[in-house]
Structure formats: C-alpha cells, structure tokens
Amino acid sequence: MAETSTRTVDGEDSSLRRSITGGQLFFYTLGDVLGSGIYVLIGLVAAAVGGAFWIAFALGVTVAAITGAAYAELVTKYPQAAGAALYVKKAFGSTALTFLVTVSFLSASFAATGSLATGFASYFATLWAGPPALLVSLVFVLALVVVNFIGITESVVMNMLMTFVEVAGLVIVVVIGIWYVAQGNADFGVLADISVSGNPALAVLAGIAFSFFAMTGFENTANVAEETIDPHRSFPRSLVGGMVVAGTVYVLVSMAAALTVPTDVLAESDAALLEVVKQGILPFSTGVMETLFSVIALIAITNTTLVTIVTQPRILYGMAREDVVPGVFAKVHATRRSPWVGLLFSAAVVAGLLVTGSIVLEAGGGIDLVNRLALVTVVLLLGIYALVIVACLKLRGRDEHEHTYRANTPLLVVGLVGNLAILGFSIYDDPSSLIWCAALIAIGVVLFLVEYAAGSRNRPPGTRRGDPEAASRRDA
C-alpha cells in the first residue's frame, strides 16, 4: 500500500508518493547503469586501453558495485530523498560539507545529462542529419522534463519498458560476437592487447576513468528511496543485483566489440557500438540492422537521461527539507506530486551547459562535449562515492535495526581505495576538468548564499542552521 505524509510547504502537501516496487527498482537501477555510457563512451575506453578494454569495464564495475553496497546499507537506515548529501549530514553533521556534496552531486548529474543529450544527438544524426545537434539535444531534454513532471510512477514504468529495449540492443551486440566466434574468424589475442605506449597499468587506469561514466547511475536509485515501497527489503537486492547484472553485460559487450571491430575504428567513432552492427556479420540486411540499432541506442540513452532528470529535483527537494538550499525547491505540484520547481531549475542548468558547450565548440575551443561532460561527471561522483563509503563506516552502530543491510567492511575499504585512485588519475590526466567542475559548483554556491540570507530571516529566534525542527517549523 502506498504511504503518505502530511508535511506541508507553504500550504502545499509536499509528500512524495510511495509507489515503486522492488521489481521496478531493479529495472530502474539496471536501466540507468546499462544506458549510461556503454552506447556513448565505449570508443574512448577502447582508445585508452586497446583491445583489452573489457578489463577496464570489469574493474570499474567492481569498484562501483562495492560503492553500491555502501549505498544499500545507508538507504536501509535512511530511506529518504537526497541520497549522498543526507548520509554525509548524518555522519558528519556539517552543513557546509553537506552543501558541498549536494551541489557536487547535482553538478555531476547536470553534466551527465548534458553528455547523454549530446550522445543522443550523435545517434539521432545517423537517422536524420537535418536538425542541428544543439536543437536535438534541447528538445530531447525538454521532452523528458515533461515526462518527469507527469509523475514518478509513469517515469519508472517508462524506464522499465525502455530497459528491455536497451538490453535487447546489447544482446544484439553479444549475439554478433558469438556468431563471429562460431564462424572461426575471431582473434582472441586482441582481448589481451593493451596497444598503447607507456605503462600498461596506467593505460588500464585511464580506461577505467572513462568507463566509470558507464558505471554511474546506481546512486540515482538512492534518491527515490522516499518513493519506494518497503525500501529496507527492496534496495539491497535491487541495487546490488542490478549492478552485478549490468557489469556482466558490460564485459560481454566489450569483448564482442573488441573481437568484431578494429580498435582504431571503435576509438574514432561517435557511435561505437553501431560499428559492430555495420560489420554485417549477422545474415540480415545491414541497412535495416543499422537503423534498428540506432533506434535502440536512442531509447537506451533516453532511459538513462530520464533517470538523471528524475534525480535532480529530488535532491533539491530533499536538501530543501534539510535547510541546505532554499525552501522553494521543496514545493510539490498539488496533483502530479512532482517537485516542479527543482525540475524547472534543473532543466535550465542543463540547457545552459549544452548552449555553452556549443558556443565554445563553434568558437574553436576544440572540445569533445560528450567526453568533457562525462569526465566532469566522473570527477565529481568519485569524490562523493569515497565520502559515502567513509560515511557508511562512520555510521556503523547508529540508527540500526533488524532490517538494516550491512555491507562487507573489507570490501568497503577496497572500494574506498579504488575510488580515490581513479579520482586521482582522472584529475592528473586532465586537470582542466576542474575548471568545469568549479563552474558548476559555483551555481550551488549561489543557492547556498540565497538560503543563508533568506533562511536567517525566516528561522525562529534561538535556532541554528540545519536544525530539523527549525526547518520543519519554517516549512509548515
């Protein structure tokens, strides 16, 4: 049965509706992870590593799955919207640190949405090259904003249906690989080829840094905890299970691509998985298969982008209730039950990113917008993931009950080291990514200053910032 609450914000019922089942949550996680990157960035991973780029995906998803276990433990303790920011606040009690995590996560989500929207435009151009890429990206984001506004249940059901389609696309790639192997044409030596100059270990680490964008998305699941039925039982199985299934698919798809397409062709393509279909290995019309796969890829990217757009206003909603960002973001539409103010704000920021990237590109900036925004996403999220694992360990023994899931402690330590190692290399390899990170975080600084100024006027005398009772009285 769906649960409701009576908390109000400026006279409006601000509760989020519990309507997501455990099965829907599994496909929500699986669909978000599978669509985010494998269709968009596999060529960059191949360029960084060589034919053995499946190793980067295998190691990357291992670190991500361990991090997912930390999220699962924390969700069973605190099944509320806001995710990582809430966990950090519970662990450290610092409003400033909570704000930093909130705005970093939002920034990562904005950058991911921009990267995926640009990737969508690349695949769309294989079907219809007429409209400008920027226009396609903006219309794409606007359409998903409308779906999100309609409601979370509709968004999750749409996500589940699209997950089946995107899995079908990846199955096609795997079947092509199996068919190619069965013909006796495969050179398995390519799967061990790290054909780059320099240290092979650093090449794999570079590949992990790129591939990690494909692993992100599981953290979005935590932000719908407040809308999930029986989250204590649903989350551990759905979140970790979805990551394991996604990781297995990634490794198989990577091997199939490496065996059937030369690495340099994958590296130079904006739609790398489409290159597998173009090889004409299956006994079907190559033209028909290319069109079909392009449509599937568009649906897969749509799926992941939908989830990122679902997440953004819910982070703002959760942290408005925690007195970190202005209370207006806690407004929920009276009939659609959607956090509409946060949704409009998120759409505006993503549109600004896309327009700015296009202007820089046209001015001769020479940037790869997909690559740039994906790397910004990874840098911001890796820092958050490491902090979430620390928060998980710090909160051990607090707020636990019989339904609390407990992640393996040694594995959490391995996950912490892995996240920090990938983060350090990502910044070392491309320090200019920090400029983009800083620009996005600056947007959050403005929000924080607005809340600091307005909140101090509205807060009852004798209370302090971050006091839940003060926030509750202000929102009532």
| 332 part of a folded domain | yes
Range of the domain at 149: 8-475
CATH number for the domain harbouring residue 304 = 1.20.1740.10
User: Would 3 be classed as within a structural domain?
Assistant: no
Residue 63 lies in a domain: yes
Give the pLDDT confidence of 9-67 residue by residue, as tens digits.
Answer: 344 444 556 667 777 788 777 777 776 567 777 888 888 888 888 999 899 889 988 99
Is residue 271 in some structural domain? Answer: yes
Classify residue 83: in a domain, yes or no.
yes
What is the chain's pLDDT, residue by residue, as a tens digit (476 residues)? 334 343 443 444 445 566 677 777 887 777 777 765 677 778 888 888 888 889 998 998 899 889 988 998 898 888 776 678 888 889 998 877 888 887 888 888 888 888 888 888 888 988 888 888 899 999 999 998 888 787 666 666 777 788 788 888 889 999 999 999 999 888 899 998 886 666 788 888 888 887 887 777 777 677 677 777 777 777 788 888 888 888 888 899 999 999 999 988 988 887 788 899 989 898 888 888 889 888 988 888 888 788 788 778 877 887 787 676 777 888 887 776 778 888 888 888 888 888 887 887 777 655 666 777 878 888 888 999 999 999 999 998 888 877 788 889 999 999 999 999 999 988 888 888 888 888 888 877 787 777 777 655 555 444 445 554 444 444 44
pLDDT reported for residue 366: 59
Contact criterion met (CB below 8 Å) for 317 and 464: no
Q: Is residue 1 one of the residues assigned to a domain?
A: no
Q: Indicate whether 2 belongs to any domain.
A: no
pLDDT per position as a tens digit, 300-330: 888 878 878 877 887 788 778 767 677 788 8
Domain-located, residue 461: yes
Q: How many domains does the chain have?
A: 1
